[in-house]
């Protein structure tokens, strides 16, 4: 069976609170664990009223504490926002608290606009172009090899699962060069998916931790009892994406009937392109979508994203997805 995992932006819904979003994330993580999901990732975003995972390491601890077996981690930490030593200490602490269960995905985007990024970094001078160097510095802290001249405590000797994230070919090249697993953000940036996967597999160099390449790709899944219901649930994410693109992000809105059609041909085409790595609808429709995605990418693991307004509908979507992954494995 192809392993399946979940990416949660910990959405704050309209009329909801950050506390409610965090409680829902813990509830959903327990549900995902019971359904056989391999890992549960949260992502670092800042200055966004609809996302409650900005303090990513804290949220990882919250979710790991609410579960017992599922791997929990950051998908990811935006390393240009942080000194590598700080991340070594944070994830060294998490690894000590939850040994063998912590993942650390690393990205080079700021996860915010330039104004917020400046407010976060203050006098720090590195930027996204220093990302490879920062990744290797972080590796050195965990390995405790003395190359930095500083011993991270906690951090030295910690073994979180380190991943390189990407939405372009840059991350694929870096993951291949360092012999690390790679996760591609095709759920919102599909254009370089095929090229990035080819580069990663072609150029992968075995490392002390990995003998062969291991790739995840993300897709949106909105599974429901009918195609119409799936399309209805997906309209919350579509509204949120349009709001982000037009500079008016906010809490996750409730679903709207016929939203995609209301945008007109140009708006609908934009959504269809950006969200092309999606499976939306009934179990039959979603199964076809997942099968096509895994056949196209040949991924070792599928990372499911699912921004659904209603918590019970979201849990139902995960349950359908888990069942379909088992059925697809049996059919294969």
Question: Which 3 state secondary structure label does DSSP give 182?
Answer: strand
Going by pLDDT thresholds of 50, 70 and 90, the confidence category of residue 123 is: low
Percent of the chain with pLDDT over 90: 86
Q: Could you give the CA distance from residue 284 to residue 264 in angstroms, rounded to a whole number?
A: 28
Indicate whether 329 pLDDT > 90: no
pLDDT at residue number 254: 98
Task: Give 90-102 pLDDT, tens digit per residue.
Answer: 999 999 999 999 9
Q: Which CATH number fits domain 4-331: 3.40.720.10, 3.20.20.30, 3.60.20.10, 3.90.1720.10?
A: 3.20.20.30
Global model pTM greater than 0.85: yes
In this predicted structure, the answer to whether residue 245 has a pLDDT above a threshold of 70 is yes
CB 117 within 8 A of CB 81: yes
Does the pLDDT at position 124 exceed 60?
no
Q: How many residues does the chain have?
A: 332
277-317 pLDDT, tens digit per residue, is 999 999 999 999 999 999 999 999 999 999 999 999 999 99
**pLDDT for 208-222, tens place per residue?**
999 999 999 999 999
Tokens of 34: 């019971």
In the chain, the DSSP E strands lie at 4-8, 39-42, 71-78, 102-107, 161-166, 182-184, 215-223, 278-281, 301-305
Residue that has been written with the tokens 């979201």 in this structure: 314
pLDDT at 331: 81
| d(C-alpha 182, C-alpha 176), whole Å | 8
- In this structure, of 106-110, 130-134, 312-316, the range with the lowest mean pLDDT score is 106-110
pLDDT exceeding 70 applies to what percent of the chain? 95
Angle between helices 84-97 and 56-66 (to 10 degrees): 10
Distance CA 147, CA 137 (A): 8
Q: Tell me phi and psi for residue 281, to 5 degrees.
A: 140, -150
| C-beta of residue 20 within 8 angstroms of C-beta of residue 316 | no
pLDDT confidence band for 119 (50 / 70 / 90): confident
Spatial contact of 184 and 193, defined as CB atoms under 8 Å apart:
yes
Contact 131, 174 (CB under 8 A): yes
- The pLDDT of residue 127 is 56
Span 142-176, pLDDT tens digits: 999 999 999 999 999 999 999 999 999 999 999 99
Count of CA atoms in the C-beta half-sphere (13 A) of 127: 4
pLDDT at residue 246 in the model:
87
- With b meaning 16 or more CB within 10 Å and e meaning fewer, what string describes 143-153? ebeeebeeebe
Confidence band for 128, pLDDT divided at 50, 70 and 90: low
Residues 6+ apart with CB under 8 A from 153: 89, 92
Averaged pLDDT of the chain: 94
Q: What is the DSSP secondary structure assignment for residue 255, as one 8-state letter?
A: P
Q: CA separation (Å) from 237 to 168, 243, 252?
A: 22, 10, 7
- Given a cut of 80, whether residue 110 has pLDDT beyond it is no
pLDDT at residue 125, as a whole number? 56
CA distances from 185 to 105, 110, 161 (A): 12, 15, 18
| Average pLDDT of span 61-76 | 98
């Amino acid at each position: 069976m192809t392993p399946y995992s979940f990416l949660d932006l910990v959405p704050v819904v309209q009329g909801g609170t950050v506390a409610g979003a965090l409680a829902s994330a813990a509830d959903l993580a327990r549900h995902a664990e019971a359904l056989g999901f391999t890992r549960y990732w949260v992502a670092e975003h800042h200055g966004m009223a609809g996302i409650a995972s900005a303090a990513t390491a804290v949220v990882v601890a919250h979710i790991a504490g609410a579960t017992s077996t599922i791997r929990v981690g950051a998908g990811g930490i935006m390393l240009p926002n942080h000194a590598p030593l700080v991340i070594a200490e944070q994830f060294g602490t998490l690894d000590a608290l939850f040994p063998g269960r912590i993942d650390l995905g690393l990205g080079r985007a700021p996860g915010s606009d330039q104004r917020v990024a400046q407010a976060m970094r203050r006098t720090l001078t590195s930027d996204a172009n220093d990302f490879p160097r920062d990744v290797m510095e972080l590796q050195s802290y965990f390995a405790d090899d003395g190359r930095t001249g500083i011993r991270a405590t906690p951090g030295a000797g910690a073994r979180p699962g380190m991943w390189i994230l990407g939405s372009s070919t840059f991350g694929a090249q870096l993951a291949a060069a360092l012999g690390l697993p790679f996760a591609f953000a095709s759920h919102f940036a599909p254009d370089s998916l095929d090229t990035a996967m080819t580069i990663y597999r072609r150029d992968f160099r075995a490392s002390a931790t990995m003998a062969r390449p291991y790739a995840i790709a993300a897709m949106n899944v909105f599974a429901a009892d009918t195609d119409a219901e799936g399309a209805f649930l997906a309209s919350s994410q579509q509204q949120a994406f349009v709001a982000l693109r037009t500079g008016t992000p906010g809490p996750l809105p409730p679903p709207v009937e016929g939203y995609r059609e209301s945008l007109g041909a140009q708006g609908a085409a934009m959504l269809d392109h950006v969200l092309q790595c999606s499976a939306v609808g009934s179990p039959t429709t979603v199964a076809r979508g997942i099968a096509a995605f895994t056949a196209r990418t040949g991924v070792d693991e599928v990372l499911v994203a699912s921004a659904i307004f209603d918590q019970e509908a979201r849990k139902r979507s995960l349950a359908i997805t888990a069942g379909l992954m088992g059925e697809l494995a049996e059919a294969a």
